[in-house]
Every structure is written in structure tokens, then in C-alpha cells.
């Protein structure tokens, strides 16, 4: 039997166990910044709310390219880093 855990995880309402603020910039922090700008906790919540399997990313950098907000307007992001050093401490990192 194939494991259905990944499919279940996407549909189940997963709640983070804990949260902390990012200390320094990384690729992960950059993507979290983009999700949080668009009004989501992170990729898990985005996929849950929007019922999508994939998030559009820039192939060169792996950063999120486009997100749909809850009001269905779109946010488009650059290939380059957008989360400046002064913004890093505002990014919430969720632990599941």
C-alpha cells in the first residue's frame, strides 16, 4: 500500500507546535517572508487554503514567484531577494 500521509497532510488542518522569529536571512526565511506578506503563515497554510499542490517558484533561485491572496488578488515577486535585513526579524518561523 502506498502511504497517503502527504495527501492527508495537505488536507488536514495542521497547526504549528511553536513559532519563533527569524534571526538571519536564508532562502527559507525569504519564502516565509513572501507567504506572510500575502497573508499566510507559510507554504502549508497556503496550499491548504488555496487547495493547490504546487507554488510557482523562480527556477533560478527557488524563491516564490507568485501568490494568490485570500481576496484573490495576486502578489508577484522578483527573482532576487526581497526581504531586507531590517525586515528579517519580523518573519515568523513555524515549527510543526
Is 38 part of a structural domain of the chain?
Answer: yes
Is 54 part of a structural domain of the chain?
Answer: yes
Q: What is the pLDDT of residue 12?
A: 60
Is 48 part of a structural domain of the chain?
Answer: yes
Q: What is the pLDDT of residue 67?
A: 98
Our count of domains for the chain comes to 1
All 3 cell numbers of residue 56?
Answer: 510557482
> Strand pairing partners for 74?
68
Is 13 part of a structural domain of the chain?
Answer: no
Give residue-wise pLDDT tens across range 1-26. 333 444 445 456 778 899 999 999 99
Is 42 part of a structural domain of the chain?
Answer: yes
Is 72 part of a structural domain of the chain?
Answer: yes
Is 10 part of a structural domain of the chain?
Answer: no
Q: Give the domain range for residue 22.
A: 18-95
Give residue-wise pLDDT tens across range 55-94. 999 999 999 999 999 999 999 999 999 999 999 999 999 9
Distances (CA, A) of 77 to 1, 65, 81: 40, 5, 9
Q: What is the pLDDT of residue 88?
A: 98
Amino acid at each position: 500500500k502506498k502511504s497517503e500521509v502527504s495527501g492527508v497532510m495537505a488536507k488536514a488542518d495542521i497547526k504549528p507546535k511553536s513559532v519563533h522569529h527569524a534571526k538571519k536571512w536564508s532562502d527559507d526565511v525569504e519564502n516565509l517572508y513572501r507567504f506572510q506578506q500575502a497573508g499566510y503563515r507559510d507554504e502549508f497554510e497556503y496550499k491548504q487554503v488555496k487547495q493547490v499542490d504546487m507554488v510557482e517558484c523562480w527556477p533560478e533561485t527557488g524563491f516564490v514567484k507568485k501568490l494568490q491572496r485570500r481576496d484573490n488578488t495576486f502578489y508577484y515577486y522578483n527573482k532576487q531577494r526581497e526581504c531586507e535585513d531590517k525586515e528579517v526579524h519580523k518573519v515568523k518561523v513555524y515549527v510543526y
